[in-house]
Amino acid sequence: MSERPYSHWLMKSEPDTFSIDDLRQRKREPWDGVRNYQARNFMRDGMRKGDKVFFYHSNCAEPGIAGIAEVASEAYPDPSQFDPKSKYFDSASSRDKPRWMLVDVKYVRKLKRVITLDELKNQPALADMALVRKGNRLSVMPVDAQDWNFILALE
C-alpha cells in the first residue's frame, strides 16, 4: 500500500460561528457547510480517520492556528445540502449523487497560544505552505508533515 501524500490538515472556522472552545465543549462535530470543490475533494479523497488537523480561526481580529483536532470519521454526505431551510442547501444535489461531503472532527487540544497568520507568514521555512500564499482562501487544505512539525515547535 502506498503512503498518502498528506495526513495533516488545516481547517478554517470563524470563531464567532464555531471556535476551538466550541469544539472542546462538544468534543466531536461534523464539519459542515464546505461549498468549495477543492476543499470538498480534500475531505472526500484525502482525509482519513485519525489524521491530525490544525484548527484555524479566520476572519477575526487575530487569525491563526488556535488548536488541534483529529479527523474522526471517513467522509460522508453533508446533510445540510438536502435541507431547504439550511443556508447550505443545494437544490442540484441529490441523495443518490450528493455533491457535498464532510468529515467529523474531534477535539484534541487548544494550543498554548494562537500562532497568528502574521507570524506564519514571517517564517521563511513556511514560504511554500498553502495558507501563507497570496490569494489562497480555501477553508480546508493539506499541511506537509515538515510544516506541521515546524509550526508545533513555534508553540
What global pTM score does this model have? Answer: 0.93
Q: Please write the tens of the pLDDT for every residue from 80-133.
A: 999 999 999 999 999 999 999 999 999 999 999 999 999 999 999 999 999 998
Distance CA 113, CA 75 (A): 30
Average pLDDT in the chain: 94
Q: Is 102 helix (H, G, I), strand (E, B) or coil?
A: strand
How is the chain split into domains, by residue range? 8-149
- What integer pLDDT is reported at residue 4 of this predicted model? 64
Angle of CA points 141, 126, 57, to nearest 5°: 50
Task: Identify the CATH assignment for 8-149 out of 3.10.590.10, 3.30.70.2860, 3.30.420.40, 3.30.9.10.
Answer: 3.10.590.10
